[in-house]
Amino acid sequence: MFKSIKYVLKENFSNLFRIYSIAKYELLADMRDSKFGIFWNFASPAIQVFTYWLIFGVAWNRKPIEVNDIKVSYLPWLVVGYATWWFIQPCIQKGCSAIFSKTNVITKMKFPVSVLPATVVCKELFNHGCMLIIALVTLFLCGYTPQFNWLWIFYYMFCAFVFSESVSLILSVLTMLWRDIKKLVTSLIRMFMYFSPVIWDCTFSSHVPFHEFLNSIMKLNPVYYIIQGYRDAIFYGQSVLDHPVYTLYFWCVVLVLFAIGCTLMFKFKKKFIDLI
Amino acid sequence: MAEYAVKVDHISKIYSLKNKNNQHKSNKRFYALKDLSFTVEKGDVVGILGTNGSGKSTLSSILAGISDIDEGSIEIHGEQALIAINTGLNVQLTGEENIRVKGALLGLKKKEIQRITQSVIDFAELGDFLYQPVKKYSSGMKSRLGFSISLALDPDIFIVDEALSVGDKGFAKKCLDHMMKLRDNEGKTIFFVSHSISQVQQFCKTGMWIEGGRLQEMGDIETVCAHYSEYVDQLNALKPKEKKKILNEKFEERVLPDTKQSFFSRLLGGL
């Protein structure tokens, strides 16, 4: 197992330029496809956030979310959460077809297949950057000013990167073995969004039976850690040091996922061409 | 002592077959290549001949290190590259950008890409089309671009799979000339897969004839070519019914019974 982790890491780090170029030109090709190009990288997440805010924030009149006596109104709270989700969700969804969509490349040249999930994640990192700019603008408009604690975002971005990379490693290999995985993931990901604190805070109030138990179950979701981390950094003035056990739990989960992904990748690296 | 570029020892490649209803339940497996053994010296130019579906492309992808083998062993000394034409071209991007994309896909560093760009542009002779998106290209122009990028690589072993069959005569000749240079001046090992017997005869030193997944003959190019064209003529002269019978026999020879492997056993086996 350590051999496979070493193999995947080595292949990824020795091909950094390849990963960068593939991600860059895929983005460029996407932009060329449409007339307004990069405009859509900003517009589509903005429209989505606007929709959620209109329905949940305005129409259903959500109250400000309060943690540690700090109240945050719904719009800034949502924007930050959605910015994170806008990174993780496409990584998982497109990660499924990371290898399969590059069929014409891997059948025709000697290619380090294990870098493909990383190219997808890097590509989405760019979109995440666009979305973060939108989020920052919204925050300024709501009267927030940057603080040093905001720099924790970069740590949580790294968490999200490693988590997405691990998940897409696993899913990309499984999709090659079993094409149904992709459809399964596409259907489940919407459900997954509601089990993550993207548009609601994932806490059941006290009238729900077993609410304490349910709330801890929700926390087992690694995405909970990432999204909540972004918000902690921006609104609640907290950092990783405030919940060390949860951090440890998150990294254990991610490392296990990464190890599984590497093992699968290492085992099937020569077989992909026959599985197409 | 002659040094070997490629040493292949009793290799086989097996594919599983689907039955007529497109399900994986037929329990049939199929030898794409069966018990091949040969050695190729450094600097040799091997022409691979064979009718459609006899395993030429499978062999070339094995030699290129893309595909894995099921039985036997293979030793390759040196870097190998499959010259593929249209792969890795992104149709939304311009020709110039595609040189960079494909260069990166092939694993070149930034400086190396800058170094080869001019020679690729000169070789492809695309003129101002270089700055147009590749989706506007004709198929001949696409293959010019793809082929030029592939040729800019500098591996020890080239594998050229039907790459010269597209493009006009002038460009095909240019490519052939370039490869002759590689053959004569730099002593590269080249595998050349083509259906054009005249090209193979002109270019290769050694011939390899694969029929039905087996190595039929390997030796001097003239003899192999003569035997191969004789065989093709013979096959064509047959009545349709007889021909079908022969082809069916050939097919049955390559099929082997299989124990079915489920998804989970494939996933868990060997973990």
Q: Which residue has the higher pLDDT, A120 or B148?
A: A120
Output the CA torsion A26→B166→B148→B47 (10° steps). Answer: 120
pLDDT tens sequence across A1-44: 788 999 999 989 998 999 999 899 889 888 887 888 888 888 98
Whether B27 contacts B257, CB under 8 Å: yes
- How big, in percent rounded to 5, are the helix, strand and coil portions of chain A? 75, 0, 20
Mean pLDDT of chain B: 80
Interhelix angle A152-177/A116-141, rounded to 10 degrees, is 140
Mean pLDDT of the A175-184 span: 90
pLDDT in tens, A66-100: 777 788 888 888 999 999 999 999 999 999 999 88
Q: What is the average pLDDT across B226-230? A: 88
Q: Count other C-beta atoms under 10 Å from residue B53's C-beta.
A: 15
Query: From the candidates B105, B136, B156, B193, which should be mutated to test the interface with A, based on the most A CB atoms within 10 A?
Result: B105
- Which residues in chain A have Cβ-Cβ distances shorter than 8 Å to B87? 104-105, 107-109
pLDDT higher than 90, residue A259: yes
Q: What is the ipTM of this complex?
A: 0.77
Residue of B nearest to A270 (CA): B68
Q: What confidence score (pLDDT) does residue A227 get? A: 92
Q: What is the dihedral of CA A13, A19, A20, A23, to 10 degrees?
A: -150
Predicted confidence at residue A154, as pLDDT, reads: 92
pLDDT in tens, B150-207: 877 778 888 887 766 666 778 878 888 888 888 888 878 888 888 878 888 888 888 8
| Confidence category of residue B1, pLDDT binned at 50, 70, 90 | very low
Residues of chain A positioned with their CB less than 8 A from the CB of B60? none
Query: Could you tell me which chain A residue has the CA closest to the CA of B107?
Result: A18
Domain boundaries, chain B: 40-70+155-266
Smallest Cα distance from B68 to chain A, Å: 6
pLDDT of A236 over the 70 cut: yes
How does DSSP classify residue A179? T
Compute the nearest-CA separation of A15 from chain B (Å): 7
Mean pLDDT of chain A: 88
Predicted confidence (pLDDT) at residue B270 exceeds the cutoff of 60: no
A239 phi and psi angles, rounded to 5 deg: -135, -175
Q: CA of B109: which chain A residue's CA is closest?
A: A17
Residues 130-159 of A with CB under 8 A from B: none
* Residue A82 CB partners (closer than 8 Å, separation 6+): A45, A48, A49, A52, A131, A135, A198, A199
Task: Read off the pLDDT of each residue in B17-29 and give the average, rounded to a whole number.
Answer: 61
Q: Tell me: pLDDT of B20 over 70.
A: no
Token output for B268: 């868990």
Q: Collapse the DSSP code of B48 into the 3-class scheme (helix H, G, I; strand E, B; otherwise coil) and give the result.
A: strand
Q: Which residues contact B130 (CB under 8 A, 6 or more apart)?
A: B94, B95, B96, B121, B124
pLDDT band (50, 70, 90) for residue B126: confident
Which residues from A are below 8 Å from B110, CB to CB? 17
pLDDT of residue B271: 47
pLDDT at residue A148 greater than cutoff 90: no
pLDDT at A51 over 80: yes
Query: To probe the interface with B, which of A2, A107, A110 has the most B CB atoms within 10 Å?
Result: A110
Residues of B in contact with A267 (CB under 8 A): 270-271
Q: Compute CA B143 distance to the chain's CA centroid, rounded to the nearest angstrom.
A: 15
Are the Cβ atoms of B80 and A107 closer than 8 angstroms?
no
Sign of the CA dihedral running A91, A92, A96, A97? negative
Residue B105 tokens, joined: 């896909």
Domain B40-70+155-266 maps to which CATH number in 1.20.1250.20, 3.40.50.300, 1.10.3720.10, 3.30.470.20? Answer: 3.40.50.300
Taken in order B125, B129, B132, B134, is the CA torsion positive or negative? negative
Question: Among residues of chain B, what percentage have pLDDT more than 70?
Answer: 86
- 3-state DSSP call for residue B139? helix
Give the residue carrying structure tokens 């805070």. A201
Output the CA–CA distances (angstroms, integers) from residue B127 to A252, B96, B199, in the order listed. Answer: 56, 11, 28
The torsion defined by the Cα of A81, A87, A89 and A90, in degrees rounded to 10, comes to 150
- Mean pLDDT, to the nearest integer, of A124-132? 92
Q: What residues are paired with B257 via a beta bridge? A: B28
Q: Residue range A136-158: average pLDDT?
A: 90
3 state SS of A60: coil
**CB count in 10 Å sphere of residue B43:** 17
**Res A124: pLDDT:** 93
For residue A17, list chain B residues with Cβ-Cβ distance below 8 A: 104, 109-110
Q: Which residues are registered as beta bridge partners of A66? A: A71
d(C-alpha B215, C-alpha B204), whole Å? 18
Share of residues in chain A with pLDDT > 70 (%): 100
Chain B hits for A271, CB-CB cut-off 8 Å, are: 68
Tell me how many degrees the CA angle A54-A59-A63 measures, rounded to the nearest 5. 95
Chain B interface residues facing chain A, Cβ-Cβ under 8 Å? 15, 61, 64-68, 80-82, 84, 86-88, 90, 92-93, 97, 100-101, 104-107, 109-110, 133, 263, 266-267, 270-271
**Interchain proximity A108–B66, CB inside 8 Å:** yes
Please indicate whether residue A275 or residue B242 has the higher confidence score (pLDDT): B242
Amino acid making up residue B269 = G
Test A29 with B64 for CB contact under 8 angstroms: no
Confidence (pLDDT) at B185: 81
User: Could you tell me if A110 lies within 8 Å of chain B, comparing CB atoms?
Assistant: yes
What is the predicted pLDDT for the residue at A249? Answer: 94
For the stretch B33-50, pLDDT in tens is: 888 888 888 888 888 888
Cβ atoms A233, A153 nearer than 8 A: yes
Is the pLDDT score of A146 beyond 50? yes
Closest CA to A217 of A235, A236, A204: A204
